């Protein structure tokens, strides 16, 4: 039978009243562009040796400090090295520092925050103040101190292997990120640990660790991932700051940070070196920040009243 316009509107409204968490939000064009930029840079850095990208340490003296050209698309640095090659290969180091440091911080800080927020009591009284003390120390100063101490040669004239130096930078920035990620995880765990389904699981006799990992952790992960993506961008920028103090990734291994640090004196004469590298860092950090917001919006779970 036919239904009137008003009844059709009411039926449509009832059908559309689905829980917010049940609706799958489509990724926007900006989100796909961000994913494409992050993944594309990573893939390009991996396959660089097989697609004809020049050696980042090879010098072309006749092109030193020259701008973009047909032979060198992004120009050359102060020593004549191909800037595009150095940026592509530098992606490896910058990604290792960013994702490695935050991954380390997320593993340690996230676990501590989950345990503290779930069990509370004495565990909370011991660990949370320690995180607060670490957060009170300027993060960049702490990272600089850690990297400087850990990367200092034990004997005069001894040099640090570039791979070891890279690991030290990851470790230093990872330690700095522990209290931040730990506090975020703790705050979200405190909220989810009091939800009805958690209380019901406790009432049914489920073990505490099962509740923590099966019921609470999946709901805390979106917030953890969102902050982690922001942290990756911060770690990449922090490595650039460390490089300016000589504590970043060690040459000849390129990174975005030491590209800027090495040619900072060329800013007036050859600004393209700093500007192009800084633009790559800017776009990467912006893409990571945007994806962090996307994670929150896509996986945010809210109660809906039917």
pTM: 0.86
CATH number at residue 183: 1.10.3720.10
pLDDT band at residue 11 using 50, 70 and 90 as cut-offs: very low
pLDDT band at 258 (very low <50, low <70, confident <90, very high): very high
In a domain, 106, yes or no: yes
pLDDT exceeds 90 at position 239? yes
Q: What total number of domains does the chain contain? A: 1
Q: Residue 177: inside a domain, yes or no? A: yes
pLDDT in tens, 31-81: 999 999 999 999 999 999 999 888 999 998 998 889 888 888 999 998 999
Is a pLDDT exceeding 90 seen at residue 93?
yes
- Out of 101-105, 133-137, 151-155, the most confident range is 101-105
What's residue 300's pLDDT? 64
Inform me whether the pLDDT recorded for 305 exceeds 50.
no
Q: Give the span between the Cα atoms of 168 and 101, in whole angstroms.
A: 10
Residue 223 falls inside a structural domain: yes
Tell me the residue range of the domain where 39 lies: 28-65+75-299
| DSSP bridge pairs for 82 | 76
Q: Is the pLDDT of residue 256 over 70?
A: yes
Q: What is the mean pLDDT of the chain?
A: 86
What's the rounded mean pLDDT across residues 260-288? 93
Residue range 285-292: mean pLDDT, rounded: 95
∠ Cα 10 12 13 (to 5°)? 65
pLDDT band at 301 (very low <50, low <70, confident <90, very high): low
Q: 170-224: per-residue pLDDT in tens? A: 999 999 999 999 999 999 999 998 888 888 888 888 888 899 989 999 999 998 9
276-279 own/partner pairs: CB under 8 Å, 24+ apart: 276/74, 276/75, 276/83, 276/87, 277/83, 277/87
Residue 266 has pLDDT above 60, yes or no: yes
Work out the percent of the chain whose per-residue pLDDT is above 90: 51
Give 21's pLDDT tier (boundaries 50, 70, 90).
Answer: very low
Inform me whether the pLDDT recorded for 97 exceeds 90.
Answer: yes
Contact 255, 243 (CB under 8 A): yes
Lowest mean pLDDT among 13-17, 71-75, 294-298: 13-17
Is residue 17 included in any domain, yes or no? no
Q: What is the pLDDT of residue 267?
A: 86
Mean pLDDT confidence for 137-142: 87
> Is residue 9, in this structure, part of any structural domain at all?
no
pLDDT band per the 50, 70, 90 thresholds, residue 121: confident
The secondary structure of the chain, three-state, reads CCCCHHHHHHHHHHHCCCCHHHCCCCCCHHHHHHHHHHHHHHHHHHHHHHCCCCCCCCECHHHCCCCCCCCCCCCECCCCEEHHHHHHHHHHHHHHHHHHHHHHHHHHHHHHHHHHHHHCHHHHHHHHHHHHHHHHCCHHHHHHHHHHHHCCCCCCCCCCCHHHHHHHHHHHHHHHHHHHHHHHHHHHHHHHCCCHHHHHHHHCCCCHHHHHHHHHHHHHHHHHHHHHHHHHHHHHHHHHHHHHCCCCCCCCCCCHHHHHHHCHHHCCCCHHHHHHHHHHHHHHHHHHHHHHHHHHHHHCCCCCCC
């Amino acid at each position: 039978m036919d239904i009137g316009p008003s009844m059709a509107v009411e039926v449509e409204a009832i059908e559309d009243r689905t829980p917010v968490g049940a609706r799958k939000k489509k990724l926007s064009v900006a989100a796909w562009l961000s994913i494409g930029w992050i993944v594309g840079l990573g893939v390009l850095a991996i396959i660089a040796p097989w697609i004809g990208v020049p050696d980042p340490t090879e010098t072309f003296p006749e092109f030193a400090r020259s701008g973009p050209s047909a032979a060198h698309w992004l120009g050359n640095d102060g020593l004549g090295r191909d800037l595009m090659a150095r940026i592509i290969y530098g992606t490896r180091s910058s990604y290792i520092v960013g994702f490695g440091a935050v991954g380390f911080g997320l593993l340690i800080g996230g676990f501590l925050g989950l345990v503290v927020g779930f069990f509370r009591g004495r565990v909370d009284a011991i660990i949370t103040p320690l995180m607060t003390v670490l957060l009170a120390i300027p993060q960049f100063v702490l990272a600089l101190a850690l990297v400087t101490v850990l990367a200092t040669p034990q004997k005069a004239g001894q040099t640090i292997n570039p791979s070891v130096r890279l690991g030290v930078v990851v470790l230093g920035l990872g330690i700095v990120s522990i209290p931040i990620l730990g506090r975020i995880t703790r705050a979200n765990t405190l909220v989810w640990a009091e939800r009805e389904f958690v209380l019901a699981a406790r009432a049914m006799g489920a073990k505490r660790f099962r509740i923590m990992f099966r019921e609470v952790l999946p709901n805390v992960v979106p917030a953890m991932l969102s902050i982690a993506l922001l942290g990756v961008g911060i770690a990449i920028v922090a490595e650039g700051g460390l490089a300016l103090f000589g504590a970043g990734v060690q040459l000849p291994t390129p990174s975005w940070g030491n590209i800027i640090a090495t040619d900072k004196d060329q800013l007036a004469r050859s600004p393209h070196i700093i500007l192009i590298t800084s633009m790559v860092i800017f776009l990467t950090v912006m893409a990571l920040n945007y994806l962090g917001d996307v994670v929150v919006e896509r996986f945010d779970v809210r109660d809906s009243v039917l």
